[in-house]
Each structure stands twice: as C-alpha cells, then as structure tokens.
A and B are shown apart, each in its own frame.
Chain A
Amino acid sequence: MDIYQEIASNVEQGYSEKTKKAVERALAEGCPPNDILHRGLITGMNAVAQRFKSGQMFLPEVLAVAGAMKAGMTFVKPLLAGTKHSSFGKVVIGTVRGDMHDIGKNLVAIMLEGAGFEVIDLGTDVRADKFVEAVERERPAIVGMSALLTTTMLHMKGVIEALEQKNLRGDVKIIVGGAPISNNFANEIKADGYARDAGSAADLVRSLLNTDHHGTPL
C-alpha cells in the first residue's frame, strides 16, 4: 500500500489521528500537497460518499470520516491556499427561512467539503436577503437550499426570485433538497437541480459544474 492509499484508507475508516500522521509523513517525504489531497484524502472521501449513497454507511460513521478528512486537511489546506488546487468551487448553503432543521444541510456540507468544494454555511432559518448578501459577497458557483417542512420549502422560490431581482441568478446554479422536496418541485421553482440525499449532492454539483471527481473540467 503506497502512502496515498494509506491516507485514503485511514479517511475511509474515520481514523483522524492516523490520517494526520500519514499526511505529515507524506509531506515529509516530499509528496506534492495536491497529490495528497486528490489521491489520498478525496479518494477516501469519495469512496465513503458512494457507500453512504448506497446505504452501506450511516451518518455517525460519515461524521467520523469527516473528522479524519478535516484532520488531514489541516496540513494540506495552507499549502494549497491561493493555488488553482485550493478548491473545486465555492458553494453557499443554508436552510431556508422559518426552518431550523440542519442535519441534512450539514451532511451535504460535509460531503461537498469532502469532495473538495469550499462550503460557506449560512446556517438555519436563512432569509432570502441573507442568501443574496452571501452571493454578492462570496461569488459562489452554487447556492444550495434545504427545507424539511412543507411550509418552509415554499421560501426557496422567494430566494430564487430575490436573486433574479438583483440580477444574480445567472451567476449561480441553484440546488435544492430536503424530505418534502422533489424533482418536480425543483423544476417548478426553476432551480437547476435536486439531490435526494447528501451522497447525491456532490455528484449533482460536479455535474452542474461539469467536472469529474478530481475537479477536472469534463
């Protein structure tokens, strides 16, 4: 097993300390940070995303994996800052107004970060003007909205309209998700995509940005 496989395997098993040590060793041996990120950390996280999507893994295990990924990233991130490898793209994410539920949204954030995207998490109960402000400030490629309630999902449309009014709609792709959301609903409110679970969210973002698992344009 080479060092990249070792890192990937440690991430996959949620071993934070072992991941950290393997990344440190890889850097000491002169491995390029970008290879450590792609061939090690992201490869491990992608395997987890697939297993989660197919129901072979559960949320607590994914959270342990995310911890291992973060532990590895603490060394790699500063070395990639400002390079073209620092992120595959920026995603602004939040649960819409009136809705305090955050599990699904947090899980999507974990999966996206694990897949190499930079995530700006606006939290829960996020009003349309806060989404607009975040788009103006962060200039993301993607805006992700979550809702668990049939009453609050209707606010997603308000966010899209607010972005249209500010002429920002064309700058971003909008994705939606949450228990009561469907593909039909996403089409109705003119979102660009719908993901039924967190594992699919990373695939959806990649497909909307037309990149592969390593952020390379297709």
Chain B
Amino acid sequence: MTSKERMLTAFRRKKADRVPVCPDISVMVPAKRTGRPFYELFLDGKEHTGWTSETYTKAYVDTVKYFGMDGWYVYGGLKEIRPPGSPEFIETIVPVPDGRLVKRVCRTSAGELKEAEMFFGDEPSWRDEKPIKNLHEDFKRMKYLLGHDSWKWEKAFRDKDRIGDYGVYSPVVAVFQDWWFNNRHGGFEQCFMDFHEEGKFMEGVHEFWMDWSLAYVRALVEARPDEVMFGGSSASLSISSPDLFRRFELPFLRRASKICRDAGVISHLHVCGRSWELVQIVADETDIDVMEPMEEPPGGNVDIAEAKRRVGGKLCIKGNINTFDFMLNATPDQVEAKCKKLIDDAGSDGGFILSTGDQCGRDTPHANLFKMVEVAETYGRY
C-alpha cells in the first residue's frame, strides 16, 4: 500500500497493511532540517495557495520521505477568484534584528485594515497586530475584504501532486474561534470578552463567517481532496469551553461534515490540548470521520484506550504521544514501549493512526521519530 492508501484506509476505520504512522511535524521539524532561517522558508516570494509557502511545503514532503512516515499535507487550498478591484492586503517586508516584520495594509471603501506579522529565524511567525481592533468598524471593513457573498474559488488544487502518494492532501478550514483569534486584536481575553459582552453582534459575525466557510467547504469537496480538515486549536478546552464549542463550532461542524459525508469526502477535526469532553459530542452529533490528536496528559486529557472503546466505532483516532516532554526527552526504547502500548490500546482493529499529541518541537530527537516509524512497520503490521 502507498502511504496515501494506508491513511485513507485508516480514515475509513478499516485495517490497512499496517498501522499508519504520522507524527505531527507540521512546522518545526522540517523547518529545522533545512538549516535555513524560518523567515527565509516562509517568505519565499513564490505564489502558494494555502498557508505557509511553496518552499516550506517542499521541506515538509522531503522530511516525510526522510523519516519514511505517512504524510499529512495540510498546507494547500483553493485560490479564490475575486472580482477585479477587490480590496486585498498589500504587504511590505521589513528586515529587523530578530527576523522579518511583515506589515500588511488593506484599503476598503469603509476604511483601512492593518496587520503585522513577525517572522523569526528559529520559530514560527507571530502576529503582533491583527486587523480587527475596533470591533464594529473593523468588522465592517473585514466584510469588504472577504466579500459579502457569491464567493468563488478555482476548481482544482494547484499543489495536490506535491505530496502525491506519500500521504494525504488535506486542505484546512479554521473553525470559528480559530478564525476570530487570528483576526481579532487583543488575544483570547479580548475574543472571550466579545463573546460575553457583544453576544448579539458576535452571533452576526458567526453567521457571516459560517456562510463564507460553508461555501468554501462546498468548493473544496468539489475539487476532491483526500480529506477536509477543520482546524480547531482555539476550540481546545485548554483555552475555550464546552459551552463555546456548542455555541460556535458545533453548528458549523454539523453542516460542514454533512457536506463532506454527502460528497463522499472524509472530514477531520483537529483539537489539541484538553479535548476529552468534546470527543463524545463530535462522535454523537456530527458526521466527522477522524478526530485527532486526542492529546494525553499533561498537555491534554484523553485516555486513548477509553476513547477507542467509546467512539472507535464512529471515529478514526489519530494520536496521542506527548510532544513537549516525552518526545523531546524519552529514549528510543521508551518511545518503542509507548508506541506498542498505543497500538495495543487503539490500533488492533484498524481506524487508528499512530501519531503525537500535537506538533513535535524543533529539537525532537530524530531517533525518536525513526523509532515511531519502525514500531508501526513491525509491531503495527496487521
């Protein structure tokens, strides 16, 4: 089986030739392997549809091949077709001592939106300034930026072949709290204050976002990706709450996962950190097919054996080894023992992908990643 076939078989909760192995190395490990500053990888000046850059996506695929793991390409998407003259962000790159500061300005007929993102040499970028500062005024401008309706996208993915058979091509749609956090200046505190104190206005924001996001999901499934991933880091219960998940994420996930299910495309929810309280909700109340990374303590609170017992009949599970302590500090022998236990607990009858509880840190020993692959190829053989 190819890596793509193996992952897709597990997504369908069936047995592949072996347990797929796909530790989350989404940014840090491939970037460090190149030996180049992160800002150089991410600001390559080439057109790329989706987040990151063409240069980075190649570094990711190279790293998948280097470790022999099953790939999970989450960097692509569809290019939006916008009416001529539509407002857009114009960016200026300013060299600063710690890296590159990218300043972006968008002029709409309702006024300017501004944002600034710092790209460092040895870690992922950080947005210093986000566009929505004055809630009501800037959201009006944001609607001009996004367009009010009739959204259109290209019909095909430009980079699907980049991962080819080395893994699955999985465009990402951010869930509402992720999207709001990425656009609202002032951090999570401000976002939660908006939800608490501007409830009615935020219902309107949510409705607009949902129309836009569901239109994008429809366009994605028509372009036939291997799966569609809903990125829900900010819905993690390490940050947010079950109430907010029900209020803002569940209505979207129900409809989006049904669009995928009806089109025969797999849907996938990522919620890192504490997520146990959400697992049953997702299994019972949506058509989501895959949930990950089901993070174990101390970063999360999921017992994967219990998750498999409760929801293994409805969800493919991907996870869940701690990254910021175990993967960094464990010996390969300890990694081997841990992976074997995970396969025993969750992988014996398919529907399981051996992975980490979130993204591996940049200094994760390569020996530990190689060991995960080795265990999947030997102990994980069906």
Residues of A with Cβ closer than 8 Å to B? Answer: 55, 58-61, 63-64, 67, 98, 100, 102-103, 106, 149-151, 179-180, 182, 196
Q: Once the chains bind, are A64 and B324 in contact (CB under 8 Å)?
A: no
Residues on B lying within 8 angstroms of A by beta carbon are: 98, 118, 120, 122-123, 126, 128, 187-189, 192-193, 195-196, 237-244, 274, 298-299, 301, 324-325, 328, 361-363
Known: A60-B192, A60-B195. Contact between A179 and B299, CB under 8 A?
yes
Asked whether A180 lies within 8 Å of B324 as measured between CB atoms, the reply is yes
What CA separation (Å) do A179 and B238 show in the bound complex? 11
Closest 5 interchain pairs by CB? A58-B241, A180-B324, A60-B192, A100-B126, A150-B361
Most buried by A among B188, B243, B244: B188
Known: A63-B196, A151-B363. 19 other contacts (CB 8 A): A55-B301, A58-B242, A59-B192, A59-B240, A60-B243, A63-B192, A64-B192, A64-B196, A98-B98, A98-B120, A98-B123, A103-B188, A103-B239, A150-B324, A150-B362, A151-B362, A179-B299, A180-B324, A180-B328
- Is there an interface contact between A102 and B193, defined as CB atoms closer than 8 Å? no
Chain A residue with Cβ nearest B301 = A55
A49 to B369, CA, bound (A): 38
> Are A150's CB and B363's CB within 8 A?
yes
A17 to chain B, nearest CB (A): 11
The residue on A at minimum CB distance from B188 is A103
**Contact residues in B for A150 (Cβ distance below 8 Å):** 324, 328, 361-363
Distance (Å) between the CB of A82 and the closest chain B CB?
A: 30
**What is the CA–CA distance of A59 and B243 in the complex, to the nearest angstrom?**
11
Instruction: Write the chain A residue with the least CB distance to B239.
Output: A59
Is the beta-carbon distance between A180 and B363 smaller than 8 angstroms?
Answer: no
Are A60 and B196 in contact, with the CB atoms below 8 A? yes
- Across the interface, do B237 and A58 meet the contact criterion of CB distance under 8 Å? yes
Q: Cβ of B362: which chain A residues have Cβ within 8 Å of it?
A: 150-151
Contact assessment for A149 and B123 in the assembled complex, using a CB-CB cutoff below 8 Å: yes
Q: Is the CB of B123 within 8 A of A60?
A: no
Residues of A within 8 A of B242 (CB): 58
Residue pair A179, B188 in contact (C-beta under 8 Å): no
With a cutoff of 8 Å between Cβ atoms, the chain B residues found around residue A103 in the complex are 187-188, 239
Q: How far is the CA of A63 from the CA of B192 in the complex (A)?
A: 8
Partner of A59 from the list B120, B122, B188, B361 (CB cut-off 8 Å) is B188
Q: Which residues on the B side are within 8 Å of A64 (C-beta)? A: 192, 196
Question: When chains A and B are docked, how far (Å) is the Cα of A12 from the Cα of B132?
Answer: 31
Assembled-state Cα–Cα distance A182/B328 (Å): 13
Neighbouring B residues of A58 by C-beta, 8 Å: 237, 240-243
Partner of B298, one of A63, A98, A196: A196
Q: Which residues of B contact A55 (CB under 8 A)?
A: 274, 301
Partner of A179, one of B123, B126, B193, B324: B324
In whole angstroms, how far apart are the Cα atoms of A63 and B193 in the complex?
Answer: 8
* Chain B residues within an 8 Å CB radius of A100: 118, 126, 128
